[in-house]
A = this chain, B = another copy of it.
Amino acid sequence: MWEQAIEQIQPLAKDWLERARTRLDSLTKPRGSLGVLEDIAERVVAIRQEDNPVLGKKEVFVFVGDHGVVSEGVSAYPQEVTAAMVRNFLNGGAAINVLARCVGAQVSVIDIGMREDLRSAHGLIRRKVRRGTGNIAREPAMTVEQAEKAMNVGVETAEEAYARGVSMIATGDMGIGNTTPSSALFSALLPTDVASVVGKGTGLDQQGITHKVQVIETALKAHHACLGEPLATLAAVGGLEIAGICGLCLGGAARRMIVVVDGFISTAGALVAMRLNPVVQDYLFFSHQSSETGHQTFFQKEGIRPILDLDLRLGEGTGAALVMHLIEDAVRIYNEMATFEEAGIAPGA
C-alpha cells in the first residue's frame, strides 16, 4: 500500500507553476511583494491543478502512540498522560481542538499504538498496530512489518479523507516521550550528530537533555546495522505515530492533497517519507519551526524555510492548524485580487 502511494506521487507540473506565477505577477501589487504567501499560492495551484483552487474540507489527524523508551526517564511527563490527553482531545478541550475550530477543520484522533485501549472512549479511531514501541535503547521500536502496517494506516487515513472530499490535511501527534525517537530519526536520516537534534521536549532541564542524548546514542549504536535505509531506521528507532504520519504524507501527496506538517515529531515522519521518495516534499507545507532545538537543524540541513516561527513546542498538529489559515489566505489572494488590467493600472516594477 505505501509502495503504491510512493509510485503515485507526481512532481508538480512546471506549466502549472508557471501559470500560477503569471497570474500572481498580474495582480495589483509589486511582483513578489506578498512573499511567502505567493509561494504558497503557486504551489497550491500546481498541486490542485486548478485555475481557481477551491479549498474544501480540512482535517487534522492526530496519531497517538506510546514509547517504551519512556522507561529510560527521557520525558518530563509520565506515560499515562498520553491516554489522558486523548480523552482531552475527544472532549474538545485540547489546544488542537481549539485551533482546528478556529480554522473550521475536523480533528480525527487515531490510536495507532497506545498502551491503553480506552474502550469507553467515544470517537477514537482504533487502528492500533501494537501497544507502544519497544525501548529503543535495548530493542527495536517495532518490526519492519509493524512499521509498514503503521505507515499503511497513515496512507489509508489519507485515502479515506480524500474519499470524504478533504483537500487539505494536517499532521498531528501525541505520545509521551516521542521527541526521543524523533531525535533518533533525525540523527540517523539527516544524518547529523545526536546533540544537534536533541532538545528539552516537554520540559527537561540540562541534565535531562544530557541523559536523553546518551539514551539516543545508545539506541543508535544498538541498531547501527539497520540505520540508513529509511524503513529499517523507522522500525528500529522510530514510533508508531511517526510511521502513521509518514504514511499520511505519502498518501496525501499521492492524492494531490495539501499536506500541512506540524512540528518536530511530524517533521520526523515527513523526513522518513522524503527519504523514501523526495518528490513528496512538493506537497508538504512545513508549518513552523518549533523551539525544539533539532527542528532548526532539520530546516538548515534540508534547505527548507518553515512558514511560522512562534516558539511552539506542543505538537498535536497545533502549528499546522494555525498555518491552514495562512494557506487559505494565500489562495484567496490568488483567486480574488484584481489584476492590473482590471484595475486600469500600469504594472510598473
Interface residues of A (CB under 8 A from B): 27-37, 76-78, 81, 84-85, 87-88, 91, 93-95, 97-99, 101-102, 202-204, 291, 307-314, 318, 322, 325-326, 328-329, 332-333, 336-338, 342-346, 348-349
Contacts and interface: CB of A to CB of B under 8 A. Distances in A.
A286 to B, nearest CB: 14
30 contacts: A28-B85, A28-B93, A30-B314, A32-B311, A34-B310, A34-B318, A35-B310, A36-B310, A36-B311, A36-B312, A76-B349, A81-B348, A84-B343, A85-B343, A87-B343, A87-B344, A88-B338, A91-B343, A93-B336, A93-B343, A98-B329, A98-B336, A101-B336, A102-B328, A102-B329, A203-B349, A309-B309, A322-B326, A325-B326, A325-B329
A33 B343 contact: no
B31 A203 contact: yes
A304 to B, nearest CB: 15
A87 B338 CA distance: 11
Nearest to A81: B345
How many protomers of this protein does the assembly include?
2
Nearest to A205: B349
A310 B37 contact: yes
A75 to B, nearest CB: 9
A138 to B, nearest CB: 25
Given A329-B99, A332-B98, A314 B345 contact: no
Given A348-B77, A348-B81, A349-B77, A93 B338 contact: yes
A332 to B, nearest CB: 5
Nearest to A311: B35
Contacts of A32: 311
A234 to B, nearest CB: 26
Given A28-B94, A98-B333, A329-B102, A202 B34 contact: no
